Structure 1
Amino acid sequence: MTRIAFLFRCLRAGALGAVLLTTPAIAKEGAPLKEKVIIDTDIGDDIDDAFALAAALNDPRLDILGVTAAWGDTGLRVRQLQRLLTIAGRADIPVAQGPATPNATPYTQKRWAEGQPAPATPVPSSVDFILDQARRYPGQVTLISLAPPSTLGALVDRDPTGFAKLKRVVMMGGSVHAGYDDTGYGPLKGPTPEYNIYSDIPSAKKLFTSGVPLVVMPLDSTQLKLDEVKRDLLFANGTPMTDALALMYHQWRHLNGWGQITPTLFDLVPVAYVLDPKLCPTTPLRLMVGDRGETTPAAGPANAQVCLKEDKEGILDLLMTGLLAQH
């Protein structure tokens, strides 16, 4: 072998060694795994569910296994979800239907939901769907709860062992130190029963004693206002999603029973937390659900990680930059 051939062979071996050394590292450092989530929502009454879903559907860090309709007219909510998913280009995401319940809250986005034909075939039960996904991916599925916990109570009743296969429940609900009248910019007036909890107190009690890891975003950390400047920026963007949000917003504004103009994006916070936990740091607490729907801290081992103070601007930036980046 000539000296030149020997050197060439050594160089090739060195290059191959470098490849062998770096290839496993590249594979190991590949794209991060997406968070597997199911979103349980009472979309159609208040407007915050629609914005929370828009943020989730727009983010590549989430592997959305399904969206489940909860509380009230769940059949109509299924239609609204199917229409929104189609607009988002995500008609591949399954929609499931939770138990229908009485509901005195106005369905403000009813006309928009009715723009979607009723499903030609029955959609799966939310309880069956969530249990199936929890068994298929044990310890991997985060259930994001944006609604009264009627579906969650039904899950505990049906199969507490299967429910325990969830990784965690990240929920909007409760009131620890702050109530609906607390803006976060002055002295607190004190906690008040929160809508999701007092709407289904028996299911909330089952959830908080289920032993499933809970991450709770109460009124203390969820009163984010989508002001007029941000609304105008979104609604002028002219994408199918922002156009849909504009139509649903105006129906909500006209028909909500609270006379509100500025939406409070309660349900955006759990989605933002799953995407970036730094946006809503948590504190371990033991919360007890009372007979009026109050969620009171108590002595004893923690049963929830609770966010008591959120990064308002960081969460709103996540929504705005994500939706405004679409063309």
Structure 2
Amino acid sequence: MEQQVVRLCFSVLILAKTLISSPVPTILDTDIGTDYDDQMALSFILSNPDGFDLKLVVCSTFNTTARAQIVAKTLAIYGRYNVPIAIGRNTGVSTMGEYEWAQNYTLEQFKNEGGTVYENGEDALYNELQKATPDNIYHLIEISPETSVGDVLQRLKPEITKNIRLFAMAGSIYRGYGNSSQPSKEYNVYIDIPAAKAMFNASWAYFGLAPLDTTIFLQFNGPVWQQFLSYRNKNKHVQLILDSYTTWYNNGGKGAGALQPFSPDIGTSTMYDVLAAILSLYYPKTITMISRQLPLVVTDDGYTRINATQGQPVQSAVSFQSENPYNSTSMLAVVALYSIIFS
């Protein structure tokens, strides 16, 4: 059985890699540290340099300097001092269970080792997005409340956004938290509704959405997770995930809502944000998912609604090709976890 799992993992990973064309200039906007899916998404991006030419990591909302420390330690373990960190606007204090893992790695240490940290994250994001042209299309992966992007969109010219493909974990269209048959106010939207409105109203070259409809099913567990665990103490990138995940779990993460049980020994919490990174990597393919172009708006009370007259077109991953969503998410787990193992 174990050998069959390994063969399946390699087959899926090889097939997925054939869909990657060449590295695309990419910016990640993250609220890493609060939920664990941001760390998995960042590690997945760093593990796929053939697809992501990572230009900037922006840390958004609440204690953004603490978030930057988590990013800095992750980049250092990957040896990616060439990726600058941008510290977004501090919007207050929030629980950040993963921070203990990175608290002894300072931003000064990151800079002394060759890294770059921008204290004004919005300016850094604005300056990097300005480099997007029709011949140099950028990908913006948005896995945070849209505060930084909303600030930048106030001064970014529309002709620039038309050179940017946006991939966002945001919103809830048909299904909500807990696999509810009713949509929910999704966290990344309702934390900063005006900024979310600005993002949904902008004219992007392409807008690929990973809403709750599909992301609620993304937990990495079963034989694939056990294979991942077998690389404990053998692979520094696997160890990064296991150490930071365990810290997050023990510091309150175990109380996070999820459809299936989770712990460091049996699998992950819900990996909402990883889907946005996967959509970016395999664009224009939407592997394992059914995607529909929908005219979406953000309402004043923080819902994501279909509005045929006011909504901008958003390519939304609303369901899976398999009737059992966990069959599809198992394949996505292979893509994500085996990328990290073999990076």
TM-score range, shorter chain: 0.7 to 0.9
State the one-letter code of the partner of 2:195: S
What is residue 307 of structure 1 aligned with on the other side?
A: 317
Secondary structure of the residue aligned to 1:119 is helix
Secondary structure of the residue aligned to 1:309 is strand
Following superposition, the deviation at residue 173 of structure 1 comes to 0.5
Asked if 1:98 corresponds to 2:85, the answer is no
Q: Are the equivalent residues in 1 in contact too, given 2:220–2:330 (CA < 8 A)? A: no
What is residue 306 of structure 2 aligned with on the other side?
A: 297
Q: Are the equivalent residues in 2 in contact too, given 1:134–1:162 (CA < 8 A)? A: no
Following superposition, the deviation at residue 239 of structure 1 comes to 1.2
Counterpart Cα distance in 1 of 2:121 and 2:230 = 35
Asked if 1:236 corresponds to 2:230, the answer is yes
What is residue 333 of structure 2 aligned with on the other side?
A: 316
252-261 vs 194-203, which moves further: 252-261
Q: Are the equivalent residues in 1 in contact too, given 2:107–2:117 (CA < 8 A)? A: no
CA RMSD in angstroms comes to: 2.2
Q: Are the equivalent residues in 1 in contact too, given 2:64–2:89 (CA < 8 A)? A: yes
Deviations 1:134-193 (A, max 9, x none): 2223241110001000011111123344752542211000000010111xxxxx521111
State the one-letter code of the partner of 2:219: K
What is residue 210 of structure 2 aligned with on the other side?
A: 217
Shift in alpha-carbon separation, 1:235–1:100, aligned structure 2, 3 A: farther
Q: Are the equivalent residues in 2 in contact too, given 1:135–1:162 (CA < 8 A)? A: no
Structure 2: which 5+ residue stretches go unaligned? 1-19, 257-261, 263-267, 321-327
What is residue 201 of structure 1 aligned with on the other side?
A: 193
Shift in alpha-carbon separation, 1:304–1:204, aligned structure 2, 3 A: same
What is residue 65 of structure 2 aligned with on the other side?
A: 75
Shift in alpha-carbon separation, 1:98–1:114, aligned structure 2, 3 A: same
Secondary structure of the residue aligned to 2:154 is helix
Counterpart Cα distance in 2 of 1:180 and 1:258 = 17
* 1:15-30 matches, cutoff 5 A: none
Following superposition, the deviation at residue 232 of structure 1 comes to 3.7
State the one-letter code of the partner of 1:217: A
Aligned with 2:246 (options 230, 247, 250) = 250
Following superposition, the deviation at residue 320 of structure 1 comes to 2.2
Asked if 1:141 corresponds to 2:138, the answer is yes
* 1:48-127 matches, cutoff 5 A: 48-59=37-48, 60-104=50-94, 106-119=95-108, 123-124=117-118, 125-127=120-122
Normalising by structure 1, what TM-score? Answer: 0.82
Counterpart Cα distance in 1 of 2:294 and 2:229 = 39
Q: Are the equivalent residues in 1 in contact too, given 2:26–2:56 (CA < 8 A)? A: yes
Counterpart Cα distance in 1 of 2:273 and 2:104 = 24
Shift in alpha-carbon separation, 1:209–1:153, aligned structure 2, 3 A: same
Question: Any runs of at least 4 consecutive aligned residues in structure 1 with deviations exceeding 6 A, and if so which?
Answer: none
* 1:135-174 matches, cutoff 5 A: 135-139=130-134, 140-161=137-158, 164=161, 166-174=163-171
Q: Are the equivalent residues in 2 in contact too, given 1:142–1:168 (CA < 8 A)? A: yes
Asked if 1:286 corresponds to 2:324, the answer is no
Asked if 1:191 corresponds to 2:170, the answer is no
Asked if 1:269 corresponds to 2:275, the answer is yes
Shift in alpha-carbon separation, 1:191–1:103, aligned structure 2, 3 A: farther
Counterpart Cα distance in 2 of 1:314 and 1:231 = 12
* Bigger-Rg structure (1/2): 1
State the one-letter code of the partner of 2:194: P
State the one-letter code of the partner of 2:215: T
What is residue 12 of structure 1 aligned with on the other side?
A: none
Secondary structure of the residue aligned to 2:57 is strand
State the one-letter code of the partner of 2:139: T
Give percent identity, aligned residues only.
25
Counterpart Cα distance in 1 of 2:222 and 2:154 = 43
